Amino acid sequence: MKLSKLFIGLSLAMGLVAAASAQTTMKISISVAQNSHQGVAIDTFAKEVEKRTSGRYKIQTFYAGALGGERESIEAVQLGTQELAFSSTGPVPNFVPEAKILDIPFLFRDKAHARAVLDGPIGQDLLGKFDSKGFKALAWAENGFRHMTNSKRAVNTPEDLKGLKMRTMENPVHVAAYKGFGIITTPMAFPEVFTALQQGTVDGQENPLSVIMSAKFDQVQKYLSLTGHVYSPCIFLMNKATFEKLSAADKQAFLDAAKEGAKANRARVDTDDATGVADLRSKGMSVVENVDKSKFVAALTAVNADFEKQFGKANIDAIRNVK
């Protein structure tokens, strides 16, 4: 009797060990706060992966640069020291140069246009470019249209930007464009930005309303101008080798979970865009809402000519012409 009880006990214990070892934990990170459009993206993704794989995969979520800035996280995913990352496309061209084209200023008419491009053949073709670089790109999501903030003066025209020292993303297209505006560009990882603004190391920065709010930049910036100068996508990235080890059903589960994360993320961006101006005004920011975008476009004529040479006018036009 004792032996059979012992056998049953051992069997149960071994079963529990097998169940525990059958759960694989993976990490995903963002460089902004959990209460943000990016936090919603990875929280939804984590929940969906667990649900769709019956708990065999658990996604640990890290926020606010806890595992490093975007570039460091992408590097970690490429090396395989971190399984997943959710990032804006800021540092992505350093790894996948073809993605640079998406960062051209004033390329997209509005969010509907940008989403149609990313969800259509052009965007899906770009996702495939990540395969040869050690990544599986699971889905496009959204950071939003970027706007300028600074602590010096209201920005109504491109001339108002001249001489402002602005933090930029570590992105060659952004740096070239902002130099075209006469900005003194200071590329910097996102987790360093708040302190740099607080200490006056830089005068300003540019980001979507979702980021400006979740990062509490209203505490260190007085002026906001709704320039909408660049549409900033986000992307779910996974280490390629890790993805390839999944069963066919689990691969699909991760891809579907990323799509759900992107859907929740875009919905949050829409909410933030609808409420952001009033929210930031109530916190003391001075907001210029009606910027003459044609003047900003005209200021980049020379830079855009360079972009046409670099990316090919036909490729840029193909994006612009998506309905």
Q: What is the pLDDT of residues 200-245, one digit of tens each?
A: 999 999 999 999 999 999 999 999 999 999 999 999 999 999 999 9
Rounded distance between C-alpha atoms, residue 203 and residue 205, angstroms: 7
Burial of 9 (0-12, 13-18, 19+ CB in 10 A): exposed
The answer to whether 200 touches 188, Cβ cutoff 8 Å, is no
Distances in whole angstroms, Cα of residue 97 to Cα of each of 78, 196, 294, 300? 15, 28, 28, 21
Segment 143-165 mean pLDDT: 97
List residues bridging with 57 in a β-sheet.
Answer: 24
Q: What is the dihedral of CA 193, 199, 201, 205, to 10 degrees?
A: 40
Q: What angle do CA 22, 25, 28 make, to 5 degrees?
A: 155
Segment 159-165 mean pLDDT: 97
Rounded distance between C-alpha atoms, residue 193 and residue 197, angstroms: 6
Task: Report the SS3 class of residue 209.
Answer: helix
The answer to whether 146 touches 88, Cβ cutoff 8 Å, is no
Q: What pLDDT was estimated at residue 17?
A: 45
Count of C-beta atoms within a 10 Å radius of residue 227: 22
Structural tokens at position 269: 């961006």
Q: What pLDDT was estimated at residue 262?
A: 98
Q: What pLDDT was estimated at residue 123?
A: 98
Beta-carbon contacts of 19 under 8 Å, excluding residues fewer than 6 positions away, are none
For residue 150, pLDDT over 60 is answered with yes
Domains and CATH numbers, the chain: 2-320 (3.40.190.170)
For residue 86, pLDDT over 60 is answered with yes
Residue 204 dihedral angles phi and psi, to the nearest 5°: -160, -175
| Average pLDDT value for the chain | 94
Count of C-beta atoms within a 10 Å radius of residue 124: 13
Predicted TM-score (pTM) of the model is 0.91
Q: What pLDDT was estimated at residue 9?
A: 53
H-only helix segments in the chain: 2-22, 37-52, 70-79, 111-119, 121-128, 172-180, 193-198, 209-214, 240-244, 248-282, 293-299, 301-311, 313-320
Rounded distance between C-alpha atoms, residue 40 and residue 20, angstroms: 28
What confidence tier does 15 reach under pLDDT thresholds 50, 70, 90?
A: low
Rounded distance between C-alpha atoms, residue 10 and residue 135, angstroms: 42
Structural tokens at position 95: 């790894």
Q: What pLDDT was estimated at residue 22?
A: 76
Q: Which of 267, 255, 228 is nearest to 124 (CA)?
A: 255
Q: What pLDDT was estimated at residue 1?
A: 52
For residue 170, pLDDT over 80 is answered with yes
Rounded distance between C-alpha atoms, residue 146 and residue 155, angstroms: 14
Running DSSP on this structure, what letter comes out for residue 291? -
The answer to whether 35 touches 2, Cβ cutoff 8 Å, is no
